[in-house]
Amino acid sequence: MSDESQELGITESKSHKPGEWYAEVVQKANLADYAPMGGFIVTKPRGYALWEAIQESLDGWFTDTGVDNVYFPMFIPESFLEREKDIVEGFDPEVAWVTHGGHDELEERLAVRPTSESIIAPFMADWTRSHRDLPMRLNQWCSVVRWEATETKPFFRTKEFMWQEGHTAHASNEGAWEEVWTRLEQYERVYEDVLAVPVLRGKKPEHDKFPGADTTTTVEALMPDGKSVQGATSHNLGQSFAEAFDITFADENEDEQTAYTTSWGLSWRALGALIMTHSDDQGLVLPPTVAPTQVVIVPIWQEDTKEDVLEYSEGIADDLETAGFRVELDDRDERNPGFKFNEHELNGVPLRLEIGPHEVDDAEVTLVHRPDNAESVADRDGIVDAVDEHLDEIFDKLYESAEENLEENVREAHSPEEILGTIGKHGGYVKTPWCGDEACEEVIKEKIAAEIVMQPLEDEGGSTAGDVPEPDHDECGVCGDPADEIAYFAKSY
């Protein structure tokens, strides 16, 4: 390897130093960089393209299920935020405030939105007059700011982050539940079918739900280092926001009723989960579904074969492009094939086609899978179908490997020692009966910083309340008191 290609490559190890490794992959694969202010990042074109791939899928599904996009101001008057005291309390230490406009002190402080319930709800109240106005489903793609004093980790922990926030109002509690499940299913689908990251569906324990919510549902993804990522949340807000902001409507008998509301959000943390799940010590690994370049063609020539090899490669690039694949022909003169292989591996291009004089003579193409270097040969004639099949195969490989990690890492425990020992040794999720008392979570949290990340749901995608199944074993895994719930403990991002 030349000095140059060593500098290009990843030097940290995913299994030994996952934090350093992750930061290196993000920077060297050109996804993001650190901003001059602590806690902020600059998203580069290749990183933003991944976010756009998520947006494109989700936004299409939102539209198909009755959601309208809107945009509200990034500033929220303090008095608006205070109308929902649970929100203020929940976010108080994390809110960034604007106190001046130019040289003048503002009469009322403005919060930089930590979430938009308190500015959207008053308008929903205004727009909701009759039962015919419901359901009302609004969504905005924007960024929010939460001033947390933690170490910056691109896409996982930043003071400002990109997300979408959906806000809906319904005439009945059933309507609100249906909405909660619809969004949770779409989040599950974007993780599993687009990002190749399997997730568990659940709800947050009472003490950890969104401020003011009746129920917070979540999809959780397990990272290879044994920590859980909260992938997205969908909240049933019951009538608390509707009561605070007067979201009422006239029913069919012209009687005034209070609406039921929901909110739901997915942030670019999904990119963090994507990068962390699939990438390796050679760099970024991406499923073909989101990869900005799905196929790279690397021609390998000598002076006397250059013309033939290039012409053959261009024909293949044209065929693939016409068929709709995102393809790049890397015909740079100044780089040798070895350098190109390394660079495209680092950047996570899922499939590489190698074309030399032998391939030209035999009317064939050599295909190499990014995740595991599996190599095979296909006929030139059927190259479009072959590439299609190989990309599917690569997606399946990534999904199956992540699924295996998830399945192997859900374990049961029935005592505090067993919970601590199991998480300490293996990471992953520890499933235990739970009495419902937050104090029992504290016992575990204090010792190893693991918490209850979710409770499984009884009614998979059902239309009403998210009940937790009864445990078989009826003593709390921490205190031994009677338990009628199940909790999943894990360390989390």
State the residues that interact with Zn ion by CB under 5 A: 435, 437, 440, 476, 478-479
* In the complex, minimum distance from the CB of residue 443 to Zn ion, in angstroms, rounded to a whole number: 8
Pick the closer one to Zn ion by CB: 398 or 476. 476
* In the complex, minimum distance from the CB of residue 433 to Zn ion, in angstroms, rounded to a whole number: 9
* In the complex, minimum distance from the CB of residue 482 to Zn ion, in angstroms, rounded to a whole number: 9
What type of residue sits at position 243? Answer: E
* In the complex, minimum distance from the CB of residue 58 to Zn ion, in angstroms, rounded to a whole number: 38
Distance between alpha carbon 356 and the CA centroid of its chain, in Å?
40
Pick the closer one to Zn ion by CB: 276 or 435. 435
Pick the closer one to Zn ion by CB: 440 or 454. 440
Pick the closer one to Zn ion by CB: 462 or 482. 482
* In the complex, minimum distance from the CB of residue 173 to Zn ion, in angstroms, rounded to a whole number: 30
* In the complex, minimum distance from the CB of residue 486 to Zn ion, in angstroms, rounded to a whole number: 12
Residues 6+ apart with CB under 8 A from 182: 65
Two structure tokens written together for 230 = 């909260």
What type of residue sits at position 34? Answer: Y
CB-neighbour burial class of residue 147 (10 A; exposed 0-12, middle 13-18, buried 19+): middle
* In the complex, minimum distance from the CB of residue 416 to Zn ion, in angstroms, rounded to a whole number: 10
Q: Where are the beta strands (DSSP E) in 204-349?
A: 215-222, 228-236, 248-250, 256-258, 260-267, 295-299, 327-329
Pick the closer one to Zn ion by CB: 321 or 437. 437
Pick the closer one to Zn ion by CB: 327 or 423. 423
Pick the closer one to Zn ion by CB: 136 or 478. 478
Pick the closer one to Zn ion by CB: 437 or 484. 437
Angle between helix 45-64 and helix 173-189 axes, rounded to 10 deg: 140
Residues 6+ apart with CB under 8 A from 145: 96, 112, 113, 114, 159, 160
| Separation of alpha carbons 369 and 374, rounded Å | 5
Neighbours of 83 (CB within 10 A): 17
Q: Where are the beta strands (DSSP E) in 315-445?
A: 327-329, 351-355, 364-369, 375-379, 410-412, 429-434
* In the complex, minimum distance from the CB of residue 182 to Zn ion, in angstroms, rounded to a whole number: 34
* In the complex, minimum distance from the CB of residue 479 to Zn ion, in angstroms, rounded to a whole number: 3
Pick the closer one to Zn ion by CB: 76 or 486. 486
* Residue matched to tokens 């140059």: 4
Pick the closer one to Zn ion by CB: 351 or 483. 483
* In the complex, minimum distance from the CB of residue 280 to Zn ion, in angstroms, rounded to a whole number: 40
Short-list 260, 256, 346, CA closest to 46: 346
Pick the closer one to Zn ion by CB: 243 or 437. 437
Yes or no: say if 380 and 361 are a contact pair by the CB < 8 Å rule: no
- Contacts for 380-385 with beta carbons within 8 Å, 24 or more apart? 380/312, 380/316, 383/316, 383/319, 383/320, 384/319, 384/320, 384/323
| Separation of alpha carbons 382 and 79, rounded Å | 65
Angle between helix 18-28 and helix 269-278 axes, rounded to 10 deg: 110
* Residue matched to tokens 């990843």: 10
Short-list 15, 5, 116, 20, CA closest to 343: 5
